[in-house]
Structure 1
Amino acid sequence: MKKEIKTDYYDNFTCIAGKCSFNCCQEWKIAVDDDTYIKWNHLSLTKQNNDYIDQYVKQKDGTRVIALNEQKQCPFLNEQKLCNLVLNFGDEVLSETCAIFPRQIHEFADRKEYSLLPGCPEVVDLMNQQDKICFTKNLFDLDEDILLQIRTMMITIMQNQHFSISKSVMMIFYILLDIYQNKSVLKKEIDEYKDKAILKELSDTIDNMQFLSLDTFEENNELFLDIAENYRKQELYTSYLEPIAVIAENLSRDYDKRKVIVQLQKFDKQFSSYEKLFRNYLVVEIFSNSLMPESDLESLVVMIQWIAMEYAIMRHSIFLSWLLEEEKLSYTVVRNYIVVISRMMGYDQEDICEYLDKSFENLIWEWGYLALLIGAE
């Protein structure tokens, strides 16, 4: 029997359906798997007419998805924000995506791993309630695989509160690149990266580096606009993206450097009050998305780059939203942008590699670029 590993709050999740502040049946691709597609062809849309569900399915980017209506919602969503499919035919008619979300399950040869995706506000609330992310099994007991050891090492660094979040990300990527360039690595060498003296030396080295906040700001601003472009064209997440995208466009043309530095400093003080939430978020991202059943060392490095980029864009989006009024940074704003950016950047590995290949000179970044992206706290 395979071992099962879960984030320890996994079984606490409950969908609140129509009461949800951020419905999962709108403004993004809802995949329709083959079995569901065949099943739907034998059903009527409602019990009162003969419309076939097949007409509500379209091909997009090589995948069958539900065709959203003019309101960018699933056509089966009713005014009470409940699913007409479930009301008429029961839960068994749902597609795999609808039935599982926000749960994420990865099945390996020797184990199954369970986590919850932050594209759901209830999941973000659960993350925020945890003092520290724990797992139903000790990750240190999973020592049969080098990639598992690397992932455990990364989680350990991210949970070390002696290091800021930004520094933790930089340290993780430095170590990953060192391992990647060596091509082969043994468990005892992974253990060396956990040594307190080595980590302190790396931490001190980063402390002695100079980081320019405006360079990080400009890079994050450009990346945010690039990621947001297609969603704006499709008029998705309009109420969240459009106001801050307008600000980002204005800032990309011209800005008062002294004023922005002061604003960044004020924002950072308020953003730091959510350190626990974002540390938990990054731990879960590393656990659930850095290592897939088909992963190798290169794909692990790529996924850490993507997670770092997602965090940077998330933080920048929250900064842009804060600029609208420059008042106290509310938990609701923070949670909403975690949800929105998580959904926008929830690509599969193939799409992530394609994006990085097109957008950057090399698939694997230099350490200095990630440091620029993350910046110092």
Structure 2
Amino acid sequence: MKKLYPDYYEKFKCIADKCPKTCCGGWQIEIDEESLAAYKSMGIDNVDYENEIFNYDEDKMCRNLREDGLCKLILKHGEGILCRTCATFPRHIEEFQNVREYSLSISCPEVARLILNRQDSISFYEEDDEEKDLEDYDAGEQEVYKYLQVLRKKFVDVIQNRNLSLKDRGGLILCIADTFQNAYDNIIFEDGDLDQLDIDSILNTDYASLNLTFQNRKAMFDVMKGWEFTTSEFSDLLSVTEETIYTKDTVSKEKAAMCKCLAGHGVELSVVLEQILLYFIYTYFCGSAYDEFYFGQAQLAVCTCLHIQDLALAHYMRTGDITLDDLIRLTYLYARELEHSIPNILYTEEYMDENPLV
């Protein structure tokens, strides 16, 4: 089996009680059957055995979390007591036939710091191991995955080409994804075979730079208003951002001032957005093999940059300053709402598919 992972994967280490936004709260923590049985035999408290989750308080914090940010279970029993969810997060695995793709969730503050601190281009490693893949996969989905791998490799090259503007990079990615989606849909509609796809032609499709109107950006912003939220923190942030940015006719001068402010702190916004775009393309694009929203997933990746840029701009306009730490915080707050909610992901993919930017 092949193992694919980014070059920073092995560098992650949980910072535990130093974490500014613990993963032990804000959502239900599901417990696997083996851990649940062990907890039951040990008489572990603070477990909802019927619903197979940890109990949480009125603030949606796990009741095993102490006020100092440390886990009661680990302190008493060691790290081996952790259920699969707690032991693996923020590690994420996408599984395909004979391939496992490993990533770290950018909703984790320490992961966001690892990714957004990078000035150089991120690399990806591929290794072979002796483990056999015994899963039964849908042959059609796995055939699509092979094409998506080719597209994603192209997207990674585009994203990391700093000779192109971010608008050009986004436009090229979306035009390729749109061409692929249309070609795929036509083949399926006509009961054809996927080997009819002219992948070379798709990769070399013409493109236009992504020059968005105010209405385009507002339409992309509005998708977030349809999400379910883990806490009021992000919904409040969204309301303030909308009021700050989208009640004005233009914010071009403010954007330029924000970039200048970041540059004064040694931060190049285009590099930060490049890393965010790369993260979402690498982590989720090939997973669209399972739901057929190929274009929707590509546009979602592009729009994460627009969303986070909006949040950052509103922060700058309200405070008069912005740093890399602010960008890191806004990124992990945003990702917490999107990445860990299946309804939010599906709603956003479909919304992107129905509201194309190209």
Do the structures match in fold with TM over 0.5? yes
Q: Which residue of 2 aligns with 1:190?
A: 199
Over 6 Å off, 4+ runs:
none
Q: CA deviation at 1:83?
A: 0.7
Asked whether the 8 Å contact 1:314–1:338 carries over to 2, the reply is: yes
CA positional deviation for 1:5: 1.5
Cα shift at 1:353: 2.7
Please, which of 232, 249, 254 is the counterpart of residue 257 of structure 1?
249
- For residues 1-377 of structure 1, the aligned pairs below 5 Å read 2-45=1-44, 52-55=45-48, 59=51, 64-127=52-115, 128-137=117-126, 145-183=146-184, 189-194=198-203, 202=207, 205-206=208-209, 211-212=212-213, 214-227=214-227, 230-231=228-229, 236=231, 238=233, 241-242=235-236, 245-249=239-243, 255-257=247-249, 260-267=251-258, 269-270=260-261, 273-292=268-287, 295-296=289-290, 298-327=292-321, 329-347=322-340, 352-354=345-347, 356-357=349-350, 360=351, 364-365=353-354, 369-370=356-357
SS of aligned partner of 1:314: helix
Contact 2:109 2:332 in 1 (8 A): yes
Following the alignment from structure 1 to structure 2, what is the Cα–Cα distance between the partners of residues 101 and 282? 21
Name the SS for the 1:73 alignment partner. Answer: coil
> How many residues are paired up?
329
1:146–1:113 distance in 2 versus 1, CA, 3 Å? same
User: What amino acid is aligned across from residue 281 of structure 2 in structure 1?
Assistant: I
- Tell me how far apart the structure 2 counterparts of residues 300 and 243 of structure 1 sit (CA, whole Å): 30
> Structure 1 residues 297, 17: closer, same or farther in 2, change over 3 A?
closer
Query: Alignment RMSD, CA only?
Result: 3.2
User: Could you tell me how far apart the structure 1 residues matched to 2:294 and 2:338 are?
Assistant: 17
2:330 is aligned with what amino acid? Y
Given residue 53 of structure 1, which amino acid in structure 2 is its aligned partner? N
Structure 1 residues 218 and 89, CA gap change in structure 2 (3 angstroms):
same
Counterpart position of 2:130: none
Taking structure 2 as the reference length, the TM-score comes to 0.79
Q: Which moved more, 1:332-341 or 1:261-270?
A: 261-270
Structure 2: gaps of 5 or more residues: 128-143, 188-193
Which amino acid in structure 2 is aligned with residue 273 of structure 1? E
Does the Cα contact within 8 Å between 1:102 and 1:117 map onto a contact in 2?
yes
Q: Do the aligned residues in 1 keep the contact of 2:312 with 2:327 (CA within 8 Å)?
A: yes
The 8 Å contact of residues 244 and 321 in structure 1, kept in 2 or not, is answered as no
Q: How far apart, CA to CA, are the structure 2 residues paired with 1:130 and 1:246?
A: 30
- Cα distance in 2 for residues equivalent to 1:86 and 1:163: 48
Amino acid at match of 1:190: I
Q: Please list the CA deviations of residues 115-161 of structure 1 after superposition, one character each: whole Å capped at 9, or x if unmatched.
A: 111111211222123511101139xxxx9922211221121211121
- Identity percentage of aligned residues: 21
Deviations 1:279-324 (A, max 9, x none): 12221221121113x8258233332233233332222222222222
Q: Write the distance in 2 (CA, Å) between the matches of 1:65 and 1:305.
A: 34
Return the alpha-carbon distance in structure 2 between the equivalents of residues 58 and 270 of structure 1.
Answer: 52
* Matched letter for residue 13 of structure 1: F
Give the alignment's TM-score, normalised by structure 1.
0.75
The 8 Å contact of residues 108 and 332 in structure 2, kept in 1 or not, is answered as yes
Partner AA of 2:329 in structure 1: N
Cα contact 2:338–2:344 (8 A) shared by 1: no
Question: What do the CA deviations read for 1:308-359 (whole angstroms, capped 9, x no partner)?
Answer: 33332222222222222122x21111000110111100146676334555xx
Distance 1:242 1:6 in 2: 35
- Equivalent position amino acid for 2:181 in 1: Y
Report the alpha carbon displacement of residue 15 of structure 1 after superposing the two structures with TM.
Answer: 1.0
Residue 340 and residue 275 in structure 1: after superposition, are their counterparts in 2 closer, same or farther (change >3 A)?
same
Unaligned runs of 5+ in 1: 46-51, 372-377
- Residues 24 and 62, structure 2, Cα contact 8 Å, conserved in 1: yes
Superposition deviation, residue 176 in structure 1: 1.3
Q: Match of 1:364, SS?
A: helix
In the alignment, residue 41 of structure 2 is paired with which amino acid? H
Q: Is the 8 A contact 1:5 1:113 kept in 2?
A: yes
* Equivalent position SS for 2:125: coil
